[in-house]
Structure 1
Amino acid sequence: MIRATRILRADALTGGEIVDRVVLDHGDRHRRRTSMRAVGGLAFLLDLPRAVVLDDGDALVLEDGRLVWVEAAAERLLEIRAPSEHALRRLIWHIGNRHIPAEIGADAVWIADDHVLAEMVRGLGGTAEPVERPFRPEGGAYAGGHGQAHGHLHGHAHGHHHD
């Protein structure tokens, strides 16, 4: 099976033969090694030196130089807004206290759709509306640069309590 061993970031793409594309949700865009099947049927092995986050518009470089386009899939998210900048910062603090991936915009925050968190947000005076869009959460303070987000993509206990 042909392997994809490198990533060309969207801002570095200057050409090359794009032969297919993969449409991946946030969890599937954080990988090191896995078999993939592109939309057009091309099967290949993603085989990177370390786990990275693939971004919308990146390309995977196959061993023979061909490229496979990466597209971020639309996901069901909650779009969270607040009546003021202070109120939004307060909501961001409460969301962060739960250690869940969040994408922070200028006037909104997006998290995975969760009815319990939606009720928490509403109880704190914000709005939480379901939307369908690609999810691009923050990488975290210890991510170490582009594409190395930890992101809590796995279920595990932290050994401490969240109220």
Structure 2
Amino acid sequence: MGADSASVKRGWAVRRAGFWDPASAADVVVLEASDRHRRRIRLHGQRGTDFLLDLDEVVALRDGDGIMLDDGGIVLVTGQAEPLAEIAARTPLEFVRLAWHLGNRHTDVQIAGARLRIRRDHVLEEMVAGLGAKVTTIDAPFDPEPAAPHGHGRHD
């Protein structure tokens, strides 16, 4: 971290979106979805706050979360707009079918109300369109569902 490491603040905990007031944020960091699954990384806020994210375990930071700093400030996490495909189904059954097909391909998926969002992929876009979905290309922050743990064996 260099000679100035003593002046670098430490982000030690995460406040989840909806459980704090983003208007009180001391600064903002804008990160793509792939950069928001972290335990330890040096970050620089848009207003100049330099800090080390230093968590006990890997955390999926989501758009709207706050990183608590050791000086009492909170840094707002904002998702960077990414090229996405937004998928709309005609019926609830079609929605489930589309989600199943995307999940079966181990695709990162965000549930955005009555729509699904995936990273742009012409093969997947053609597949869901062929299943009857309406596909719209957008640029928006991507907050995919967290992966489920992959345990093996029986769970009775």
Whether these two folds match at TM > 0.5 is: yes
| CA RMSD between the two structures | 2.2
Give the corresponding residue for 1:125: 132
Structure 2 residue 142 is the aligned partner of structure 1 residue 135 = yes
How far apart are the structure 1 equivalents of 2:85 and 2:97? 17
1:16 and 1:67 in contact (8 A); partners too: no
Which of 12, 15, 24 is equivalent to 2:31?
A: 24
1:16 and 1:66 in contact (8 A); partners too: no
Per-residue Cα deviation, 1:108-161 (whole angstroms, up to 9, x for no partner): 211111111111112222222111222222123339xxxxxxxxxxxxxxxxxx
Flag structure 1 segments of 5+ consecutive residues without an equivalent.
144-163
Q: Secondary structure at the match of 1:120?
A: helix
Structure 1 residues 11-160: aligned runs within 5 Å: 11-13=18-20, 18-142=25-149
Flag structure 2 segments of 5+ consecutive residues without an equivalent.
1-7, 151-156
Alpha carbons of structure 1 residues 122 and 40: separation in structure 2 relative to 1, 3 Å: same
- Tell me which moved more, 127-136 or 15-24: 15-24
Alpha carbons of structure 1 residues 87 and 4: separation in structure 2 relative to 1, 3 Å: same
More helix by share: 2
How far apart are the structure 2 equivalents of 1:17 and 1:108? 31
How far apart are the structure 2 equivalents of 1:8 and 1:66? 12
Alpha carbons of structure 1 residues 14 and 115: separation in structure 2 relative to 1, 3 Å: closer
Per-residue Cα deviation, 1:61-116 (whole angstroms, up to 9, x for no partner): 11222221111222211111223222222211111110011112453211111111
How many residues align? The count is 143
After TM superposition, the score normalised by the length of structure 1 is 0.77
Q: Secondary structure at the match of 1:119?
A: helix
How far apart are the structure 2 equivalents of 1:44 and 1:7? 14
1:76 and 1:113 in contact (8 A); partners too: yes
Give the corresponding residue for 2:14: 7
Alpha carbons of structure 1 residues 2 and 106: separation in structure 2 relative to 1, 3 Å: closer
